[in-house]
Structure formats: C-alpha cells, structure tokens
Amino acid sequence: MENILRIAVQKSGRLSDDSLSLIKECGIKFYNGTGKLKSSATNFPLEFLFLRDDDIPGYVADGVADLGIVGENELVEKNKDVVVLKKLGFSKCRLSLAIPKSETYTGLSFFQGKNIATSYPKILGDYLKEKAIQADIHEISGSVEIAPSIGLAEAICDIVSSGSTLMMNGLKEVEEIFRSEAALIGHPLMNQQKKHLVEKLLFRMNAVQKGKSSKYVLLNAPNHALDKIVSLIPGMRSPTILPLAQEGWSSVHSVLSEEQFWENIEELRAAGAEGILVVPIEKMIL
C-alpha cells in the first residue's frame, strides 16, 4: 500500500457530496455505490474510506487513512494530531449558542450558572473559559435542539447553517462561537512517496478551486479607451488584445476573479466596453 493514498470521507450528507464532487472535478474516477464503505479510484492511486465525520480525525491521526476531508468543527473538537493541508471553502457553517425564543437575551452573562446541551463540549468549554462564564455542559449526540423543551438544559450550542431547525424548535441564535468549513487533513508522518502523491492531488484541487473563483472575460473596446480598460481587467499577466474587423476597435480577453469583475463592471461600461461576455473556467493552472 506504499504507493496508494487512503482518504477518509464522510459516508453520507452534504459534506460527503461536496467532497466527492471536488475529487471528481479533479479528474479522478471512482465508484461509490449506496452503502459502500470502501472504494478505489481507477485512474489515480487513491483509496476511499467512507466513515462517520466525527471518526475521520482519529483515523487520520492513527495512520489508518493518510488524508481526510472533515469539517473544522469536528477537527477542533476531536483535537487529534493531524496536519491541515488545505481549507476547501465548502460546507460552511457556524457553531452558535441558542436559547428559547421566549427568553430575553441579556448578553453572555445570561449563561452564567445555566445548563447548556451540546455535541461539542471541548469547543464550548474553551469558549466559556475564555469568556469567564461558568456553566454546566451536558454532552449529548444528536437532537440537541430538543434539550430545552424537555427540561434538560436552558440553552444549547449546536451547528447552524440556515437557522431553520432552531426556529422549528422554538429557539433563537444569540451568540456565534465558532466558524467552520471543510478542510483537507493529513497524517503528520507520511513517507516521501505519499507526500509526492499528496502534492499531485493538491495541485489538481488548487486548479479546480482557482477556476471556480475566476472568470474568462471577453469584450469589445474602442482603441482610444484600451489603456483604461486594461487597467480595470489586468488578468493573470496581461490581457490579450486582438484587432476587430471594424477599424478603431479591439477585442480584449482577460481572466479575473468574479468579485473583481463585479467591482469594475460599471467603470468598464463607462469607458466604452461593449459586448461583454463572462465565461466560467473549469480549471486554472498558474
């Protein structure tokens, strides 16, 4: 197994879908049928282990898996000896404190002496200690939102994406304590062969993610405005400028971040740019 990387991925759920989608966009082919706990890529030395997300940090720390894709919330909570190789930018969420809607929130002092139910006792405990709040933490797994309504706790600390689950259970979010996104983690003592394979995988991931955040922009511009337009869309090195059949006009091609484009669109139009096309990029290698 020396020349094969093992990667641990959540076996189901949004994090699993996003993780596998990224790997497929890296040109890596594999089959992950329903209920499958193990699979191998057909065109890259990569083997998949499909696990519970909270088990992934431990499997990577123990060397059973070389790599893992896991939410930072689980990574910090489990506190295992692993290396964060790359933050992946998807499966974003937050860990927040919530209380019943009927309660009046008076600030962090509200939690002094209260019972708080959570699946993240370490993160919550560290936060409360930092804020000098003494509270009793009740660790439970799953269905944390029900704790106040059954009298187990006066508050909860749980993962929030949209907040709809809190609302359905008569709760309101009052304090965000931690922000999380998916991360690629690795075993700290991989051999050189495996490190080389990790570098190849990271190269592909970076190309995919750079492409997603960038756009290929084409526009027509009057020649007298080229200097101004080029300054607004500088590109990776410099834009490509091609003469149009119509005298006095050129076609300008460039690559820039989507955020940059929207920031500059009005100035581009004011400078005389016309026929602006914005095209998605599948991969981008710098």
Return the structure tokens found at 104: 């009046």
- pLDDT, residue 110, reads 96
pTM (2 d.p.): 0.83
Final residue before a domain boundary, out of 180, 203, 231? 180
Is residue 33 domain-shared with residue 175, that is, in the same domain?
Answer: no
286 is a domain residue: no
Q: Give average pLDDT by consecutive 10-residue segment, the chain, 286 residues.
A: 85 92 94 80 95 95 97 95 96 94 94 96 97 95 88 93 84 95 96 95 93 90 93 85 94 88 88 92 83
Is residue 102 domain-shared with residue 171, that is, in the same domain?
Answer: yes
Question: With contact defined as beta carbons under 8 Å apart, do 218 and 280 qualify?
Answer: no
- pLDDT, residue 285, reads 82
Residue 275 sits in a domain whose CATH number is 3.30.70.120
73-86 exposure pattern, b = at least 16 Cβ within 10 A, e = fewer:
bbbbbbebebeebb
Is residue 34 domain-shared with residue 112, that is, in the same domain?
Answer: no
Residue 123 sits in a domain whose CATH number is 3.40.190.10
Is residue 70 domain-shared with residue 187, that is, in the same domain?
Answer: yes
- pLDDT, residue 20, reads 94
217 is a domain residue: yes
Is residue 63 domain-shared with residue 80, that is, in the same domain?
Answer: yes
84 is a domain residue: yes
What region does 184 belong to: left with phi over 0, alpha with psi -120 to 50, or beta?
beta
- pLDDT, residue 34, reads 66
1: DSSP letter: -
Is residue 110 domain-shared with residue 217, that is, in the same domain?
Answer: no
Is residue 20 domain-shared with residue 58, that is, in the same domain?
Answer: yes
E strand map for 5-160: 5-10, 38-40, 46-51, 67-71, 83-87, 93-100, 115-118, 136-139, 155-160
Is residue 50 domain-shared with residue 156, that is, in the same domain?
Answer: no
Token match 């570098």: residue?
A: 199
Nearest to 257 by CA among 209, 206, 201: 209
128 is a domain residue: yes
Is residue 128 domain-shared with residue 269, that is, in the same domain?
Answer: no
265 is a domain residue: yes
- Domain limits at 203? 5-90+181-211
- pLDDT, residue 1, reads 44
Domain tally for the chain? 3
Q: Where are the alpha helices (DSSP H) in 64-114?
A: 72-78
Is residue 201 domain-shared with residue 144, that is, in the same domain?
Answer: no
285 is a domain residue: no
118 is a domain residue: yes
